[in-house]
Amino acid sequence: MTEMEAAEALAALAAAIARHDQAYHEQDAPLVSDAEYDALRQRNAAIEAEFPHLIRPDSPSRRVGATPAAGFAKVRHRVPMLSLDNAFDTADFTEFCARIRRFLHVPEDAGLSFVAEPKIDGLSINLLYENGALARGATRGDGTEGEDVTANLRTMRTVPDCLPGPCPALIEIRGEVFMTKADFLALNAAQAAAGQKVFANPRNAAAGSLRQLDPAITATRPLSLFAYALGDVQGSVPGTHSAYLEQLRAWGFEVNPLSCLLAGEAEAEAFQAETALARAGLGYDIDGVVYKLDDLALQRRLGFVGRAPRWAIAWKFPAEQAVTILEDIRIQVGRTGALTPVAWLAPVNVGGVLVTRATLHNEDEIARKDVRVGDTVLLQRAGDVIPQIVQVMPDRRPDGAAPFVPPETCPACCSLAVRAAGEVVRRCTGGLICPAQTVERLIHFASRGAFDIEGLGEKSIQEFHGLGWLHGPADIFRLERHRAELLTREGWKEKSVSNLMKAIESRRTVPLDRFIYALGIRRVGDTNAKLLARHYASYAAWRAQMLAATTVGSDERSALGSILGVGKALADELAAFFVEPRNLAALDDLAALLTIEDAKSVAAADGTLSGKNLVFTGTLETMSRPEAKARAEALGARVTDSVSKRTDLLILGADAGSKAKKAAELSVATVTEAEWREMAGF
C-alpha cells in the first residue's frame, strides 16, 4: 500500500466508522453487523500501525462511541469511561499477558490472576454515589461525556438508591444495562401488537428503553443491570477486583454469577471454551469474555493506552455464522403500508437456532450487498436475534440470477407502491382497501395498548377477515351477528365464543386517547394519542378540529402543528387521514357504536383523587412504582413515601409490610391495587 492509498483508506474508514457509531449509539439502529464493524476498526488499526504518521486527528482509534444525543443533559464522567481491546484467539490472549509482564517487569512465568466476566452486549452506565446515595446516573456517551439518565435508572429495581453499610464518600460504579432474551422477545411481541417500533436486538432494545425522555416508559421496560467496574472513588475500596465485586454484591448490586477468579492463562483458556459452550443456553446474549487483572494496584500501574486499559481485554467469540441458499425474496406489508423485503432461506442451523428467514431491511440494503434469489449467502447471528445476511458468495451465483427489482405494486392489493423522495421505505398506497394493511390495522386496534380485546389476537382476526366478517374496526362490535356460525367453526366452543363476545362488549366504552391510538394512524403512538386527547378533550371536538385542519394554512392546522410534541410531520399524517372519505366513514361507523370518554373525564371522574395524599406500598403487579406515581400525579394527587396523619389513602401492593400496620393505627384508608386502578379510571 502506498502512502497515498493509506491516507485515502484512513479517511474513508474514519468516515464510515463515524457513521456506524452514530447509527449504533445515537439511533440505536446499527447499519452493519458487529463483526463487520470490528473488521473496519481492525483494518483501521492495521493501517495506522504501518503508517503512524498518517493517524488522523479524527481517527476512530482516538474516539469511543458517539457524542451524546440531544434531549438529555450532558454529564462529564469524573473518570473517563473507556473501551476494551479485543482478542480473537489464544495467541492474542497470550500476547496480552506477555505485554502485561513486560510492562510490569515481571518474569515470563510469573502468575497472573484474572477475573473473568461474560461480556454482555448492552450499554455501559456510570452511577455516581455521594455519601452512599445515588446522585446521578449517566450513559457512556463518547466516553468523556454521557447523557444524564438518572430518572430512568432510578426506575430500575437493580439500581440501588443507596448503598447500605460503610461506603466511600464518593464512588462511581459502572456496569452494563441489558435485556434478557426472553424479555426482549416479549417486549418486541408487545411492541408489534401495539403497532410500535420493534427492536433489532436486545442491545438496541435496552438502549432505546433506557434513553426514553419519559421515565415512566423506561419503568415499564424489563431492564437488567450487572455491575462490574469502578470509576472515580474518594475513600477506600478493596485491593482486588474480585473483592470489589463482592462489595458490589453486598451493596445490593447484581454481579454476573458466572464471574470468576482465575489463577492463570491456562484457566482463562478453559473458561473461554466452557463459556462458548454455555453461551447458547444463557438467558442473555454475550459476545465474549472480559478478563481483568485482579490486583487493583497492578491495574493502576498498567494504566491505559489510547482508549483501552492495558489490564483488561475482551476475548471475543467467533460470530455464529452459517452458509445457506436464498430461495426467495418476499415482501411483507405492514400496518402503515411499509413494504419490507424478507429473505426466505433454505433452513440452516446457526449457533443452535434453526433459521429460515432473515431481514433484508430495505431495497437500498439489497442493492448494497447485491443480494439475488438463488445466491449462496453467509448468515450471521451476532447478538442479533434476527439473523443478518453478511454477504453473498458471488462465485457460487447460479447463471441467470437477476438483481432484485423492487415491486411497483403492493403484493397484497396491487395498489401502486411508491417510495417518497428522501425515504428508504417503499409504501403501498392502497390504504383501507389493502387487505394486508387492514389485517395489520385490526390487529393493532384490538391489541393491548389500544382496545385491548382479550381473545381477539392475530389468528382470530385473520380468520374473521378471511370469512368476510371484518372489513373495518366497527365490524368487531358487530361480531355478535356471526355467533351462531362461529360456534360451528373448529376451535370455537360455547365458552370461548361467549368470552370473546363479553370481552368485546366490555370495550364499548373507551377513553379518548385509546380510541385515537387504536386507529393506527401513522406516527400516532400512545404518547401522541395522549397529547391529542388531552388537548382536544372530547371526541366531537377532536373530529371537528381535525376536519378543519385538513385545510393547509387553516388556523386549526397551525394549532395542531404547534401542540407541544406534535409537530408538522404528525399534523400532516392526521390531515392525510381525515382528508380520505373512506377513513372518515369508517371512523363515524365505529364512533356510533361506542361511548368515547372525554379525556378529562377520567381525571375528573368524581374528583376523588385530586389534591389527595397517596402512599404506595408493596409490589404492584400491573405497573411499576414510578408509573403508578406518574399516573396518580396526573390525576392531581400527591404521592409521598411514608404514611402519616395527613395520608388520605394507602395503596397496598403484594407483601405490604409496616406501612399497612401504620395506616391501620392512624385509621388511614387503604385500597388494593385493583381498587386503586378502578378509582383512577384505568
Residue of 176, 363, 475, 513 that binds ligand IVH (CB under 6 A): 176
The CB-of-264 to ligand IVH minimum distance in angstroms stands at: 19
Give the chain's length: 682
Interaction between residue 21 and ligand IVH (CB under 6 A): no
Which residues lie across from 619 on neighbouring strands? 654
CA 182 – CA 221 distance, rounded (Å): 12
Classify 447 as helix, strand or coil.
Answer: coil
Residue whose C-alpha cell reads 413494504 in the numeric block: 339
Taking the complex as a whole, the smallest distance from the CB of residue 72 to ligand IVH amounts, in Å, to 18
Pick 35 or 500: Cβ nearer ligand IVH = 35
Which part of the chain contacts ligand IVH (CB under 6 A), choosing from 80-88, 597-605, 613-621, 661-669? 80-88
142 touches ligand IVH (CB under 6 A): no
- Please report which helix (H) or strand (E) contains residue 314, including its range: strand 312-316
Q: Return the residue of 100, 314, 345, 571 that touches ligand IVH, per CB under 6 A.
A: 314
Tell me how far apart the alpha carbons of residues 389 and 632 are, in angstroms, rounded to a whole number. Answer: 47
CB of 143 to ligand IVH, least distance (A): 8
Does 83 help bind ligand IVH (rule: CB under 6 A)?
A: yes
Q: Which of 13, 47, 82, 649 binds ligand IVH (CB under 6 A)?
A: 82
In angstroms, what is the minimal distance from the CB of 142 to ligand IVH? Answer: 12
Comparison of 140 and 381: residue with beta carbon closer to ligand IVH: 140
Please report whether residue 362 would count as binding ligand IVH according to CB under 6 A.
Answer: no
Nearest-approach distance from CB 66 to ligand IVH, in angstroms? 12
Q: Which is nearer to ligand IVH, 81 or 560 (CB)?
A: 81
What single-letter amino acid sits at 434?
C
Site for ligand IVH (CB under 6 A): which residue of 72, 93, 228, 244? Answer: 228
What is the contact mask toward ligand IVH in residues 84 to 113, using x (rule: CB under 6 A)? Answer: x-----------------------------
309 binds ligand IVH (CB under 6 A): yes
Q: How far is the CB of 242 from ligand IVH (least distance, A)?
A: 13
Select the span of 215-223, 306-314, 501-509, 543-551 touching ligand IVH (CB under 6 A): 306-314
Round to whole Å and give the CA distance between 77 and 231. 8
Q: By CB under 6 A, which span of 119-127, 397-405, 557-565, 572-580 interacts with ligand IVH?
A: 119-127
- Residues with Cβ within 8 Å of residue 420, at least 6 apart in sequence: 427
Q: Which is nearer to ligand IVH, 82 or 319 (CB)?
A: 82
Neighbours of 238 (CB within 10 A): 14
Q: What angle do CA 447, 453, 456 make, to 5 degrees?
A: 80
* Residue 82 or 521 with smaller CB distance to ligand IVH: 82
Number of chain positions touching ligand IVH (CB under 6 A): 15
| Binding to ligand IVH in span 372-411, by CB under 6 A | none
Q: Can you list the positions of beta strands (E) in 520-665?
A: 595-597, 613-617, 638-640, 649-652
Query: Hey, which residues between 261 and 280 contact ligand IVH (CB under 6 A)?
Result: none
What span, in angstroms and rounded, lies between the C-alpha atoms of 13 and 43?
8
Give the interface segment with ligand IVH, choosing from 6-14, 78-86, 403-411, 494-502 (CB under 6 A).
78-86
Which residue in the list 74, 119, 369, 495 is annotated as catalytic? 119
Catalytic site includes residue 119? yes
Q: Indicate the angle between helix axes 34-50 and 3-21, nearest 10 degrees.
A: 150
β-pair partners for 136: 128
The DSSP letter of residue 551 is S
- Give the C-alpha separation, 615 to 648, whole Å: 8
290 binds ligand IVH (CB under 6 A): yes
- Among 21, 28, 48, 117, indicate the residue that binds ligand IVH (CB under 6 A): 117
Q: How many contiguous H segments (helices) and E segments (strands) does the chain have?
A: 25, 26
Q: What is the DSSP string of 580-644?
A: -HHHHHHHHHHHTTSEEE-HHHHHHSSSSSTT-EEEEESB-SSS-HHHHHHHHHHTT-EEESS--
- Per DSSP (E only), the strands in 445-594 are 509-511
Nearest by Cα to 527 from 540, 514, 546: 514
CB of 163 to ligand IVH, least distance (A): 20
537: number of CA atoms within 13 Å, CB side?
5
Does 217 interact with ligand IVH (rule: CB under 6 A)?
no
Asked whether position 120 contacts ligand IVH by CB under 6 A, the answer is yes
- Please say which residue, 254 or 572, places its beta carbon nearer to ligand IVH: 254
- Which of these segments, 117-125, 150-158, 179-187, 357-365, binds ligand IVH (CB under 6 A)? 117-125
Stretch that binds ligand IVH, among 49-57, 308-316, 415-423, 555-563 (CB under 6 A): 308-316
Say what the alpha-carbon torsion angle 620, 623, 629, 634 is, to the nearest 10 degrees: -140
Decide: residue 642, CB within 10 A, 0-12 exposed, 13-18 middle, 19+ buried: exposed
Q: Which of 229, 358, 392, 428 binds ligand IVH (CB under 6 A)?
A: 229
Buried b (16+ CB within 10 A) or exposed e, 146-164: bbbbbbbbbbbeebbeebe
Provide the grid cell at 279. Answer: 453461551
Cα separation, 394 vs 375, in Å, equals 8
Residue 315 touching ligand IVH (CB under 6 A): no
Q: Toward ligand IVH, which CB reaches closer, 304 or 682?
A: 304
Give residue 617's identity as a one-letter amino acid code: T
d(C-alpha 548, C-alpha 648), whole Å: 45
Query: In the complex, what is the shortest distance from the CB of residue 241 to ligand IVH, in angstroms, rounded to a whole number?
Result: 10
CA-angle at 485, arms to 484 and 486, nearest 5°: 95
Catalytic residues: 119
Give the residues lining the site for ligand IVH (CB under 6 A). 82-84, 117, 119-120, 124, 140, 176, 228-229, 290, 309, 312, 314
